[in-house]
Amino acid sequence: MPLDPLPELMVEPIVRAALLEDLGRAGDITTDAVVPPGHESRLALAARQPGVVAGLDCARLAFRLLDGGVRFTPCVTDGTAVEPGTVLAQVEGPSRALLTGERTGLNLACRLSGIATATAGLVAAIAGHKAQIVCTRKTTPGLRSLEKYAVRAGGGANHRFGLDDAVLIKDNHVAIAGSVREAVSRVRARAGHMVKVEVEVDTLAQLEELLTIGADAVLLDNMTPQTLAEAVRMVGGRMLTEASGRVNRDTAPAIAASGVDLISVGWLTHSAPILDIGLDWVG
């Protein structure tokens, strides 16, 4: 399925805030001193590691917001797997804007491409199973929409975006309510009929209690592959099953083989390493 880009209306405020953070109170005092007004350059945005690209629009905006005369020509699209040396985009225009916007553009492109690359690795690790890799709300404050977009660029899918678009009853909710049944009952009395309800369970006993009430999905937290397989058998297709906890490229295949529908992974958006991308002077 083609990857739909984020609307520029959503991306621009994030990039603008990052530029303002970098420009500070006096702007780029180094570039303004060294580079004369009117000077133009050609630069190439290039991958220095193998990976999956995401965030090219962020890089484009980092330059274009500084000077509308910058010409940013992408050579690949987000979601593309690349090798070291692959040119991702050609950038031409006023040298001051190119040098001043370089770090902001690279910070965002490297970060998002790193998330896309890590996601693609997990997707490849569970190939052949029905499970889908999904992200969580463990995102960098202010960057959630971009980081969740990067997960999609890597072939994954998104869990809820915030606290307001779906119910997820977790262990502390259950502890305060007193039981899974009571927590679900309170939610059903308050949430609208369009709101999906998911419940986190830590044991098969909790799952058994949940099955007497029903929900749209169950989050099976930190269970072994064997326990997950038994949980899937117990659910019998009556709700979506989601596994979480201790997921990496080594453990993901066994988790997927349990038959779960979803595998949620927090580190994709909070700890994935960047993809090294450089901006090289061409002329």
DSSP one-letter code for 208: H
What are the tens digits of pLDDT across the range 113-140? 999 999 999 999 999 999 999 999 999 9
pTM of the model: 0.96
Residue 221 annotated as catalytic: yes
Contact 212, 234 (CB under 8 A): no
Q: What percent of the chain has pLDDT over 90?
A: 98
Q: Rounded to an integer, what distance in angstroms lies between the CA atom of residue 79 and that of residue 81?
A: 7
**Does residue 71 carry a pLDDT above 80?**
yes
State how beta strands 240-244 and 262-264 pair. parallel
Q: Where are the alpha helices (DSSP H) in the chain?
A: 8-23, 29-34, 56-64, 95-125, 144-153, 171-177, 180-190, 204-211, 225-235, 252-257, 267-270
219, 207, 227, 216: which is closest to 262 by C-alpha?
219
Q: What is the mean pLDDT of residues 41-66?
A: 98
Contact 169, 198 (CB under 8 A): yes
Catalytic residue among 16, 48, 103, 181: 103
- For 173, residues 6+ apart whose C-beta sits below 8 A from its C-beta are 183
Catalytic residue among 170, 181, 188, 196: 170
Q: Rounded to an integer, what distance in angstroms lies between the CA atom of residue 18 and that of residue 29?
A: 17
**Does residue 234 carry a pLDDT above 90?**
yes
- pLDDT confidence of residue 283: 75
Residue 200 annotated as catalytic: yes
Catalytic residue among 92, 200, 242, 261: 200
Q: Rounded to an integer, what distance in angstroms lies between the CA atom of residue 100 and that of residue 121?
A: 33
> Which one has a higher pLDDT value, 59 or 281?
59
Q: How confident is the model at residue 19 (pLDDT cuts 50, 70, 90)?
A: very high
Catalytic residue among 22, 182, 216, 221: 221
Residue 160 annotated as catalytic: no
Give me the residue label for tokens 């369970």.
Answer: 201
Q: How confident is the model at residue 94 (pLDDT cuts 50, 70, 90)?
A: very high
Residue 138 annotated as catalytic: yes
Mean pLDDT of the chain: 97
Q: Count Cβ atoms below 10 Å from residue 21 Cβ, excluding itself.
A: 9
Q: Give the 3-state secondary structure of residue 139.
A: coil
Residue 22 annotated as catalytic: no
What is the full DSSP assignment across 28-78? -HHHHHHSPTT-EEEEEEEESSSEE---HHHHHHHHHTT-TT-EEEESS-T
Q: How confident is the model at residue 2 (pLDDT cuts 50, 70, 90)?
A: confident
**Does residue 1 carry a pLDDT above 90?**
no
